[in-house]
Amino acid sequence: MERKMSDEICVNGSCHCGYIKIEAIVKLTEVRACHCTDCQKISGAPLRAIAIAPAEKITITGNPKEYIKIGDSGNKRIQAFCSNCGTQLFATDMEKTVYNLRTGFLEQRNDLKPKQHVFTQSSVPWLWMK
């Protein structure tokens, strides 16, 4: 995939074992850090960074394992990971129109600085200490 506009970047990555590969074009303005308790629990970390990609700008090679998580809001979300190594890959809506890519497996993760922090009411207090 080619870079499309100055605010877009082509990203690529694979799970830890290399079974699943993903390429996408994401907007740099659509990179977020999520502090919700679901992200904390599923990632084993105090937050999870995501880059948002529309379905028409993503290519997935391999077959991620998926399960449906019902959030506190009642919304259903597909959570996807590698069934071999467990790498967290993305979350998406039930129609698979928009993908929240987990930036940790992307080669360009250093370029994907979150522009927004969401669900900060759930963030761990020590994260904001100076």
> What confidence tens digit (pLDDT) does each residue in 31-82 have?
999 888 888 888 888 888 999 999 999 999 999 999 999 977 788 999 999 9
Distance CA 55, CA 52 (A): 10
Q: What pLDDT was estimated at residue 129?
A: 65
SS3 45: coil
Distance CA 94, CA 110 (A): 29
For residue 108, count other CB atoms closer than 10 A to its CB: 14
pLDDT digits (tens, 9 = 90+) for 69-125: 997 778 899 999 999 999 999 999 999 999 999 999 999 999 999 999 888 888 888
Q: What pLDDT was estimated at residue 56?
A: 97
Residue 106 DSSP label: B
| pLDDT tops 80 at residue 130 | no
Q: Which two tokens stand for residue 77?
A: 């979300």
Distance CA 12, CA 95 (A): 23
Of 63, 91, 87, 90, residue with least CA distance to 77: 91
